Structure 1
Amino acid sequence: MIDPVSALDGEFDVLVRDGDIAAVERAGTRMNSPDTSVVDVSEYWIVPGLIDPHVHLRDPGFPEKETIQTGLRASAAGGFTTVAAMANTLPVNDSPATTRYMVERAKEVHSARLVPVSAVTQGLRGSALVDFAAMIEAGARLFSDDGIPIDDAMVLSQALDETKRLGYAVALHEEDCALSRNGALNAGAVSKQLGVSGYPDSAESQRVRRDLAIAIGSGAAVHVCHVSAAESLELIRAARRHGAQVTCEVTPHHFTLDESAAMIWGTNAKMNPPLRSHSDVEHLIAAIRDGTIDMIASDHAPHDPDSKRMPQLGAYFGPGHPVAQLDHESAEEFAHAANGVVGLETSLGLALQLVHRSIIEPTRLIEMMSVNPAALLRMEAGTLAVGAIADITVIDPNLEWSVAPEKFLSKSRNTPFAGMWLKGKAVLTMVAGEIIYDGRKA
């Protein structure tokens, strides 16, 4: 059992009663009565339920990509007991009615919990603010226009003042669009070789610089989404030294892959922010090790093949035959392909490689994937202490498996990890004492 909040890391038995943790005793203690169901997870890790602070479930609006039902079932299979669903749906989650729709659909699925993320601005247009108090009352626990930066500094400042008053955080998509100019890949050797438009890391770091200055002035809590660039990390460190209440996340694809992945996987390695240089990846890993990065988020972004321009470009890419250069028309198709990769069912397996490579300890992994996301979402979760809700993830850290997109419970298959062998997987997921996924039966 690994529970950083309770400072427990050893062999324990856990008793669950009426959806809560009723007792935690040294392994072998006879806690169970004759009518108790015994779940044997010896040789595995028992950890507080994993929480993904950044996913896109595409519901309402894009059922060809994902639905709340398929997304939450994929979440459970990935070991997540709670996921925070971003607001860029159709309609945008900028009204209590849409928030309530998401909450009700999630209850019907009877799987992982869904925490709605409210938009900061109406329609994600970056001007008029949402009714923050009404959105919180409807169920929102975080605010973000993710996918679109908030360009107007005054609008962001007003939003931070309001969320500070209410006790919540704003999650920021950091992009200066005047610098990114709709670039398709990191501005570097790979984008030049493929003949595809480039997106410099300064487009991220310059906006991080501006927004953290605003955050320092306001004293509000902000969260930097999907950090990808080394300079952004230095700015976050500096802002903390100046008193900023700032947390940040990294995705498994950004700390596992660099820009060269696009040579093999094409648009399935296209995301925003883009995969960066090998040097940036090394800086991200160092920031995971030293604690600069607070949490791991999948940024699960399901897309159908047409949105990824696979009918037009799929034949150009694949293992064993990286394309040399795209013609002009194909480069244009690449630029217009949707950004993002699915991640709910690969996130834990990729994150566990950090443990197997001795970059971090298991306790630190659980802090990043449960404890810290719970704090960001203002949830009473992230622990297996007596009295806590029984959201539990059971992990086999030594299970070796190959990523097979055709077996995903997610509706989409857009991943650059197909065929990759990973070590470690969730084998059982429990929400409020109820098993919602049991991979031991697979």
Structure 2
Amino acid sequence: MTTATLGVATGESLDQVILRNVLPYGGPPADVIIKDGRFAAFLPPGQAPSTEVRILDCTGLIMLPGFVDLHTHLREPGGEASETIHTGTRSAAAGGYTDVFAMANTDPVTDTADRVSRLLSQSRRQTSCRVHPVGAITGGLEGASPAPYAEMAAAGARMFSDDGKCVNNAALTRAALVAAANLGCIVAQHAQSADLAGEGQINAGHASETTGLPPWLGVAEETIIARDAILAAETGARLHVCHISTRRSVEIIRWSKSQGWPVTAEVTPHHLLLTDELAAFTDTRYKVNPPLRSADDVQALRTALLDGTIDAVATDHAPHTNESKSRSWCGAPFGMTGLETALPVVAAVLENAQALDWKRLAELMSTAPARIGGINDFAGRPLVAGEPSTFALVDTANWTVTSADRYSKSSNSPFCGTEFRHRVMATSLEGRLTHSRNHAQRVNP
């Protein structure tokens, strides 16, 4: 079953439509009626009126709320050779995403109200998904002075982060937490102590010993998480920890939550599935920040995903040109693409643990990210009558990731050649189809 049978192309309206035999949250089949950009009804199969409406056969397709990514690098402005707002949002839609938070490490950095406003204005001209600018914590991401939080929040920023860099200055971090709390926003920290990470290139231990590359200690991540969790507890401000990657990070987050501290955490799909054994091949597709960790770390992350210690899955979609990724390991940039493969990776991880619960997956990829990012008044909404018809349709047919079969401008996916059992076939944003596989023209070269 694919959306080729739906007869609806990307960009078309789904108004006055019945999606027949769809599986909301993977449950029993239903006929879903869409009118005026909202779900009008979820009815048992055969009970929906069929006069003067289009009927689209969705037999076997799982319906989930549209996904929300708290951690996307769109690269524009300044990095258009790797990605643009147009290609990045198109890639997001292909992965089932309707909302993405665009990190501030562009050129110039998103560290003023004007740059937040400009990104919002530019992204609204794109139609594939909604873009939410993340304001920088420090001016120019230099870690020296605070960015104008109130002005950026007034312009539309709901999250502040220097992602790509860590705010090593504890006083600056505390001030950012206090300011964000007063504005109803959240601080997202890239946990990486500069002193402890040093020039690290690969996970410390077997991977660094095998390759001879500079080791990247897990404690560089863990000490920052512990410090900032205490600051969050002291200030009462909300802290979100980006891309946790180690067992001890999980333990710190779990303990912080047991104390009632306002701390949330995300994990990337690649840290859930890949280990540092792959990085030891020194294939730069596997060079990422934080680095791929040991099998023991990966297992701890999976356990934390299942028990609720980890709140959300975020892609850290980090596109790079083929030229830059073709350099030597130390000369190549950190990062992987992830928007188009997030759903199949997370589904595979849950399925391998015999815990594939589609409602839980929706919580991890839609509901919780929307709540953390402060957009849950319109995103991450449940699949019920009266809500916006914003959703993804997922097929269960096997497929293999290829470099050519993509919508991102870059091809630095670590999953090329990997076979998965689930795939997003269509995405709708308030009743408009933003992605329909096998209909839309891809944007990659």
Q: What's the TM-score, normalizing by structure 2? A: 0.89
- Give, in whole Å, the separation in 2 of the partners of 1:32 and 1:82: 32
What amino acid sits opposite 2:360 in the alignment?
A: R
Task: List aligned pairs for 1:104-123, cutoff 5 A.
Answer: 104-123=121-140
Aligned to 1:187: 204
Deviation digits for residues 106-143 of structure 1 (CA, Å, limit 9, x no counterpart): 22221111111111111112232222232223222211
- Which stretch has the larger CA shift, 403-412 or 25-34? 25-34
- Give, in whole Å, the separation in 2 of the partners of 1:139 and 1:292: 29
Aligned to 2:35: 17
1:365 to 354, 361, 365: 361
1:37 CA drift (Å): 2.9
What amino acid sits opposite 2:385 in the alignment?
A: V
Aligned to 1:337: 332
Task: List aligned pairs for 1:226-265, cutoff 5 A.
Answer: 226-264=243-281
Aligned to 1:437: 435
What amino acid sits opposite 1:343 in the alignment?
A: G
- Give, in whole Å, the separation in 2 of the partners of 1:213 and 1:364: 29
For the pair 1:29 / 2:47, whether they are aligned, the reply is yes
- 8 Å Cα contact 2:211/2:282 also seen in 1: no
- Which stretch has the larger CA shift, 353-362 or 108-117? 353-362
Task: List aligned pairs for 1:395-406, cutoff 5 A.
Answer: 395-396=394-395, 398-406=396-404
1:30 CA drift (Å): 1.6
Identity over aligned residues, as a percent? 37
Structure 1 stretches lacking a partner, 5+ long: 313-332
Aligned to 2:406: 408
- 8 Å Cα contact 2:69/2:369 also seen in 1: yes
Q: What SS does the aligned partner of 1:282 have?
A: helix
What amino acid sits opposite 2:123 in the alignment?
A: A
1:78 to 95, 102, 122: 95
Aligned to 1:217: 234
Aligned to 1:353: 348
1:9 CA drift (Å): 4.2
2:71 to 46, 49, 54: 54
- 8 Å Cα contact 2:238/2:262 also seen in 1: yes
1:189 CA drift (Å): 1.2
- Give, in whole Å, the separation in 2 of the partners of 1:138 and 1:2: 39
For the structure 1 residues 101 and 30, does the alpha-carbon distance in structure 2 shift closer, same or farther, using more than 3 Å as the test?
Answer: same
What amino acid sits opposite 2:244 in the alignment?
A: V
Task: List aligned pairs for 1:65-144, cutoff 5 A.
Answer: 65-144=82-161
Deviation digits for residues 130-163 of structure 1 (CA, Å, limit 9, x no counterpart): 2223222322221111111111111111111111
Aligned to 2:4: none
For the structure 1 residues 53 and 176, does the alpha-carbon distance in structure 2 shift closer, same or farther, using more than 3 Å as the test?
Answer: same
Structure 2 stretches lacking a partner, 5+ long: 1-21, 441-445
1:14 CA drift (Å): 2.4
How many residues of Structure 1 are paired with residues of Structure 2 in the alignment?
415
Deviation digits for residues 402-426 of structure 1 (CA, Å, limit 9, x no counterpart): 1101221101111221101011000
Q: What SS does the aligned partner of 1:406 have?
A: coil
What amino acid sits opposite 1:187 in the alignment?
A: A
Q: What's the TM-score, normalizing by structure 1? A: 0.90
Q: What SS does the aligned partner of 1:284 have?
A: helix
Q: What SS does the aligned partner of 2:423 have?
A: strand
- 8 Å Cα contact 2:282/2:329 also seen in 1: no
- Give, in whole Å, the separation in 2 of the partners of 1:423 and 1:257: 17
Deviation digits for residues 64-95 of structure 1 (CA, Å, limit 9, x no counterpart): 11000000111111111111110100111111
What amino acid sits opposite 1:353 in the alignment?
A: A
